[in-house]
Amino acid sequence: RTREDEDTGAQVAAIVRLEEVVVTTGEEDEDAVLDLKSKLYRFDKEANQWKERGAGTVKLLKHKDTGKIRLVMRQSKTLKICANHFVKPGMAVQEHVGNEKSCVWHARDFADGELKDELFCIRFASIENCKLFMQKFNEVTESEAEKEESKDASETAGLLEKLTVEETKTEEKVKTEVEAEEKKKSEPEKADEEKKTEEAAPST
């Protein structure tokens, strides 16, 4: 047995200490309305073909304060963002022709840090998950459209009310101006009448 093999009994301290790192995703103020595993593709116009964006989890997140809903998808291992955009009125998700597990939609996406018009295709493990995604997505767009309509209606009502108030004020102003004009006209007439009365009265 050589000296190198001898057990010295010394305790070897760990050189590397692993510390838990808290990762903030920016989703802390949102609740997940939908959370499904999927694979995302984007249509490359230049190459005229679909290109994979990543495989992971797609979520529909509702903000606790504003109530706005955005679609976020991250790659499962790296958490890199594949898609990140608000779900707005006018958006429509449709079944991808020839594949019941996939669907497509257009969006102004912010995954790369700048707004880009994208055509996305997403594929799920089952037809049920695909239908669920489409149902939830369309429910959100319809709900957002109703919100905008009611907002527009209330804004229009407020505008009409403001116009009515302004019209009333204008009418009152015109009325006041007319009355003032009539008063001005009537004052000389009254003076003339008084003058005539004085002339007609017999002198004592």
- Model confidence over 80-123: pLDDT tens digits? 999 999 999 999 999 999 999 999 999 999 999 999 999 999 99
DSSP one-letter string for 39-63: EEEEEETTTTEEEEEEEEEEEEEEE
pLDDT at 189: 58
pLDDT at 51: 97
Instruction: Compute the average pLDDT of residues 174-190.
Output: 65
pLDDT at 199: 57
pLDDT at 115: 95
Between CA 165 and CA 87 the distance in angstroms is 38
Higher pLDDT, 148 or 23: 148
pLDDT at 149: 86
Higher pLDDT, 166 or 77: 77
User: What is residue 184's three-state secondary structure?
Assistant: helix
pLDDT interval class at 161 (50, 70, 90): confident
pLDDT at 148: 86
pLDDT at 53: 96
Instruction: Give the chain's mean pLDDT.
Output: 83
pLDDT of 56 strictly over 80: yes
pLDDT at 43: 97
Find, among 102, 104, 101, the residue nearest to 127 by Cα: 101
pLDDT interval class at 156 (50, 70, 90): confident
- Please state the pTM of the whole predicted model: 0.65
Higher pLDDT, 14 or 104: 104
pLDDT of 168 strictly over 60: yes
pLDDT of 164 strictly over 80: no
pLDDT interval class at 201 (50, 70, 90): low
Give the neighbor-by-neighbor strand order of the sheet with 49-63: 81-86, 69-75, 49-63, 30-44, 116-124, 99-109, 94-96
